[in-house]
Amino acid sequence: MDVIGIGETMISLTPNRNGLIRQTSSFEPRVAGTETNTLIGLSRLGHSTGFISRLGDDELGAMVLKELRGEGVDTTFIEFDSSHQTGLFLKEIINESDVHVYYYREHSAASQMNPNLLDESYISLASYLFITGITPAISESCKQTIFTAINMAKKNGVKIVFDPNIRKKLWSEIEARETLLDILKLSNIVLPGISEGQFLFDSNDPEEIGEKCMELGAELVVVKLGETGAYYCTSDQSDHVPSFPVKQVKDPVGAGDAFAAGLLSGLIDELSVNEAVKRACITGGYATTYVGDYEGFPDRSHFERLSSLSSS
């Protein structure tokens, strides 16, 4: 198993055209959740992935399961909960740079995850454990689940990949900062954006954000810079990588997850860090050209075409 993730996957309802939600007459249901977005991206690029979670024993849960299986993500450790529902959110796209999400996920089935869900022998199969700052924000038992999973992974030499993914709607700023820094200290690879650097370290300078994460113990930090690309650093190298040229952004949600998928794919394929970050910039940039959180993520042959475009 290349990458295992833990988190909440929901159904996102997106209006059929841009504008305020109140003006829509129909919504399209899509499967969405930061960890599964990344796992699906990896799976499409040919890597083996697994997801640990809890879904409602309901139609929305069945829809998530069907989609994950169709995309080739292992679902052995997804539990079904008959007394809590699968989470939902609405995505309002006013225009490509003004997107809002409204969650209906309180007391969802995933919020009931607890450490008993974890199987150490399953986690030990992975090369990487992919964690984001969303799961510990959902509930106290989810937070405990994340720390237990990290400990299991570390005991078995599984690397922790952490996207802080701040969601201020889900928890208080004090709790968020403290918890995200605690996870960061246990992580091997950290993938912040500028807004997370600002939140955690009061800095919008990618080099300073990278340095602060390294001081807390990271081996590799890749700071996502949106349309200006990415900055990465390790103990002995650092560089800026330009973004993939995108003609028209349609939906930026999910770009960070596609970025994580591209980066991990490059590392699994044993590319140099620089090449892996280039791969991340291609997958992250291209993902914004489709409406939907992961619908636009490329498969391997599509990726090869995008890659030759970006180098020509």
- Residue 73, interface with ligand CKP (CB under 6 A)? no
CB nearer to Mg ion: give 61 or 192.
192
Which of residues 93, 146, 184, 255 is near ligand CKP by CB under 6 A?
Answer: 255
Query: If binding is defined by CB under 6 A, does position 197 make contact with ligand CKP?
Result: no
Among 3, 4, 11, 32, binds ligand CKP (CB under 6 A): 32
Please give the span between the terminal C-alpha atoms of the chain, in angstroms, as a whole number. 34
Does position 293 interact with ligand CKP (CB under 6 A)? The reply is yes
Active-site annotation holds for 163:
no
Dist. CA 146–CA 118, nearest whole Å: 10
Residue 50 or 193 with smaller CB distance to ligand CKP? 193
Pair type for strands 189-190 and 27-32: unpaired
Applying CB under 6 A, among 253, 267, 273, 282 the residue interacting with ligand CKP is: 253
- Taking CB under 6 A as the binding criterion, the range among 30-38, 65-73, 111-119, 149-157 that sits at the site for ligand CKP is 30-38
* 256 counts as binding Mg ion under rule CB under 5 A: yes
β strands within the chain, DSSP E: 3-6, 10-15, 27-32, 49-56, 73-74, 78-81, 88-95, 98-104, 128-132, 159-163, 189-190, 220-224, 230-233, 238-241
Instruction: Give the number of C-alpha atoms closer than 13 A to the C-alpha of residue 301, restricted to the C-beta side.
Output: 0
Stretch of residues binding ligand CKP (CB under 6 A), selected from 17-25, 113-121, 252-260, 301-309: 252-260
Contact predicate 271/233, CB 8 Å? no
Choices 20-28, 194-202, 251-259, 296-304; region in contact with ligand CKP by CB under 6 A? 251-259
What's the closest the beta carbon of residue 273 comes to ligand CKP, in angstroms?
Answer: 21
Which of residues 125 and 181 has its CB atom nearest to Mg ion in the complex? 181
Report 71-90 residues binding Mg ion (CB under 5 A).
none
Site string for ligand CKP, 108-147 (x = CB under 6 A): --------------------------x-------------
Query: Shortest approach of Mg ion to residue 115 CB, angstroms?
Result: 25
Number of chain residues interacting with ligand CKP (CB under 6 A): 15
Stretch that binds ligand CKP, among 107-115, 200-208, 248-256, 264-272 (CB under 6 A): 248-256
> What does the alpha-carbon distance between residue 164 and residue 153 come to, in Å, rounded to a whole number?
18
* Residue 167 touches ligand CKP, criterion: CB under 6 A: yes
Cα distances (Å, whole numbers) of residue 73 to 5, 28, 35, 44, 209: 10, 23, 11, 10, 32
Instruction: Work out the angle between the directed axes of helices 273-287 and 300-311 (0-180°, nearest 10).
Output: 100
Spatial strand order of the sheet with 88-95 comes to 27-32, 10-15, 88-95, 98-104
Residue 223 as a binder of ligand CKP (CB under 6 A): the answer is no
Residues 6+ apart with CB under 8 A from 87: 8, 10, 11, 103, 104, 105, 108, 109, 110, 111
Q: Which of 74, 163, 251, 257 is catalytic?
A: 257
Specify the amino acid at residue 183.
I
Name the one residue in this structure whose structure tokens are 């300073």.
208
DSSP 22-68: GG-S-EEEEEE-HHHHHHHHHHHTT--EEEEEEEESSHHHHHHHHHH
| Binding piece for Mg ion, criterion CB under 5 A, among 108-116, 163-171, 181-189, 242-250 | 163-171
165 is an interface residue for ligand CKP by CB under 6 A: yes
Q: Which residues bind ligand CKP (CB under 6 A)?
A: 10, 32-34, 37, 101, 134, 165, 167, 253-257, 293
